């Protein structure tokens, strides 16, 4: 089941004030960018973030899961609790690189 647009709208509303938010639909699921960095992978109305050591203490009680077949394990971000989710995202922002630009052929 793909994410609903209502869920993506809710996630974006929860992220107000964190940075510039942009979404991109990919294969029925969504990538949510903050300040042009791919921070949240939204699949099946669940928000996933990369499992990085810098956030492990902040999100140690979070569930984990696989956003799609063949993906690495990710933390599941409890986006409904904005006060807990925002600090995690702010910690990830300096760690996540900008996407590589595609070479023109």
Encode the chain (105 residues) as per-residue pLDDT tens digits: 688 999 999 999 999 999 999 999 987 799 999 999 999 999 999 999 999 999 999 998 999 999 988 999 999 999 999 999 999 999 999 999 998 887 776
Q: What is the pTM of this model?
A: 0.91
Going from N- to C-terminal start, the domains of the chain cover 5-92
Stretch (H or E) spanning 33:
strand 29-34
| Separation CA 65–CA 88 (nearest Å) | 17
Which CATH architecture best describes the domain 5-92? 2-Layer Sandwich (3.30)
93 in Cβ contact with 19 (< 8 Å): yes
Pairing of strands 29-34, 21-26: antiparallel
């Amino acid at each position: 089941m793909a994410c609903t647009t209502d869920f993506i709208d809710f996630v974006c509303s929860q992220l107000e004030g964190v940075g510039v938010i942009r979404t991109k639909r990919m294969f029925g699921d969504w990538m949510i960018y903050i300040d042009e960095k791919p921070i949240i992978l939204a699949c099946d109305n669940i928000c996933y973030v990369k499992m990085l050591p810098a956030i492990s203490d902040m999100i140690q009680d979070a569930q984990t899961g696989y956003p799609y077949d063949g993906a690495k394990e990710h933390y599941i971000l409890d986006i409904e609790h904005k006060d807990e989710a925002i600090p995690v995202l702010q910690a990830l922002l300096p760690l996540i690189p900008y996407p590589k630009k595609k070479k023109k052929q």
